[in-house]
Amino acid sequence: MLAVAEIHYIRHEVNQKGESYASVARKMGIDPRTVSKYANQDEFPKKEKQKRKARVMDPVKPLLDKWIQEDLKKKKKYHRTAKRMFQLLEKHHGFKGSYRSIRGYVSQRKKELKKVADEAALPLESFAGTAQVDFGTAPFKYHSEVIELPYLVMSFPFSNTFYFQVFPSENTECLLEGLQRMFHHMGGVPKVIRFDNLSPAVKKIRAKGERDLTDVFERFVLHYGFTYEFCNPGKGNEKGHVEAMVKYIRNNFLLPENTIVDLDHFNETLWAIAEKDRNRPHYEKQVLQSDLFQEDRKEWLLLPEKRFESIRYQEIRADKYGFITIDKKQYSTSPRFAGQKVRVRINYQSIIILNEENEVVATHTRLYGMKRKSIIWQPYLELLSKRPRAIKYSSVYEQFPPAWTEYLNNCTEEEQKDVLGLLGKLLKNNDFSLLNKALNLASVHGHPSAEEIQHCFYSLLHQEDRYLAITPSVTVPPMPDITRGLSHYDTFFQDERAER
């Protein structure tokens, strides 16, 4: 397996500069078949454009140019050779010239296009098919409160157009999810994309502009085949177009606060907003931006056959309670993983915890915002229903809603076993709201049993009033105070230790 830098070099030399496999192999001291493999690997498609002049063949030049440009959006193994072009011209277009003329034209045209590509690094505003990317922030009404959320903008300087999507964070997974959504909605990939030094993409900036990229961003670039550029530190003006577009989007589409009920559905509505905005003249060129956008589209690279799986894996040690921490948020695993390492599969939507056999232990919706902890209760309840004495010494005892913590503390061992089994059966989607109501209702006349809680739960669930049947119909004489649960045993042992 070659290093990423070597793969980048092969891709650049073969797919952009047009060097032969043998030539690159000699320079690198490796087998030409290895060069061919990495130049054409599915995850790393990349091609530029190419041109040339001719003399006697004026009628077929435009067609040759078209074929060359079509091919250079594909992997090299899919390119038509000059010989194949000559055969097609003879068969379908009545070409009477020589193969040598075709071969010379194609070769020279590719060299000319290579030179144009090498000189086209700056400014991006001058070239179709290029893009700039950055995050902005705006206020939204989300989950009944006003909060700031980031939105990812991809702008196209040549046509002065854009796309944008709103996310709960500016992390790596959200950045790559946003870029990928845009590529697949657009049906192509900008051949050059300029970024600020976003932490999801850049781990470290070194001397002379060198950068260490995050592993997942580097693989993403190789998969989609675009050329990336980063602004110099403190030089945000080098991506001035996208910065202006961030403000334009906020002022024209995101103020005052939009109400978001479902973020994915809201993002689906943003494609049409961006596309409708193109139906106006370009501020300088006095041509409809929608027409210029079509010129952008013609220059994009083809999409790869497969989507990129924007996932990272991480090994994390669970704490003594069986919780792991990711980005300052806590997620439960299972009691048996307390103090042990687990493998975690992370994407922008979910946190999936795996055991040593890569089997799923728990799946959490990824937390953003103020909420700090996500608990999947079933693994804990299953264990505790079998070993109720352990509940007082487990983290779950502290994580229950306060009403349940107090109730379980006042239960005998047998009652705890029954109630924990009941919770394991009734608790759905880790939502205690209906169970809390059932416990409060069943507790009106004293400490309830598991059967009474279950009776109230189903009455509330089906919106019935059967729970009234548990109301005592006779006056019960006052009873002496008793101490429920196992706390009196704790007191006994404390007294015994004090005597020692």
The pTM of the whole model exceeds 0.75? no
How would DSSP label each residue in 333-388?
A: --GGGTTSEEEEEE-SSEEEEE-TT--EEEEEEPP-TT--EE---HHHHHHHHH-G
What pLDDT score was predicted for residue 346? 93
Does 477 sit behind a cis peptide bond, omega within 30 degrees of 0 on the bond before it? no
Tokens linked to 64: 């040759």
Does 256 sit behind a cis peptide bond, omega within 30 degrees of 0 on the bond before it? yes
Torsion of CA 485, 491, 496, 500, to 10 degrees: 140
* Local structure of residue 261 (DSSP, 8 states): S
Answer yes or no: are the C-beta atoms of 304 and 42 closer than 8 Å.
yes
Cα dist from 213 to 39, 192, 221, 227, 229, whole Å? 21, 17, 10, 13, 12
Distance CA 485, CA 409 (A): 6
Per-residue pLDDT of the chain (500 residues; tens, 9 = 90+): 677 777 878 887 887 778 888 888 888 888 888 888 888 875 544 444 444 444 557 888 888 888 887 787 777 777 888 888 888 988 888 888 888 888 888 888 877 766 655 544 444 456 899 999 999 999 999 877 899 999 999 999 999 999 999 999 999 999 999 999 999 999 999 999 999 877 888 877 766 567 788 888 999 999 999 999 888 655 555 678 999 999 999 999 999 999 999 999 999 999 999 999 999 999 888 899 999 999 999 999 999 989 998 888 999 999 988 899 999 999 999 888 989 999 999 998 999 999 888 899 899 999 988 888 898 887 777 777 777 666 555 556 667 888 988 898 888 888 888 888 888 888 877 788 899 999 999 999 889 999 999 999 998 988 866 555 445 545 556 666 655 555 655 665 555 555 55
Q: 122 in the Ramachandran plot: left (φ > 0), alpha (ψ -120 to 50) or beta?
A: beta
Domain ranges in the chain?
Answer: 4-119, 124-299, 312-376, 389-495
What pLDDT score was predicted for residue 329? 94
Options 3.30.519, 2.30.30, 3.10.450, 1.10.1060; CATH of 312-376: 2.30.30
Q: Which fold has domain 124-299?
A: Nucleotidyltransferase; domain 5 (3.30.420)
Q: Kindly report the CA angle at 462 between 461 and 465, in degrees rounded to 5?
A: 100
Distance CA 300, CA 65 (A): 16
Cα dist from 402 to 215, 376, 390, 405, whole Å? 43, 17, 18, 5
What pLDDT score was predicted for residue 46? 41
The DSSP bridge partners found for residue 345 are 313, 352
What pLDDT score was predicted for residue 310? 85
What pLDDT score was predicted for residue 93? 86
What pLDDT score was predicted for residue 475? 55
What pLDDT score was predicted for residue 120? 46
What pLDDT score was predicted for residue 107? 87
**Residue whose tokens read 């999801």:** 200
What pLDDT score was predicted for residue 389? 64
Element (H, E) at 498: helix 487-499
Look at the alpha carbons of 170, 171, 174, 178 in this order and tell me if their dihedral is positive or negative.
positive
Element (H, E) at 450: helix 450-461
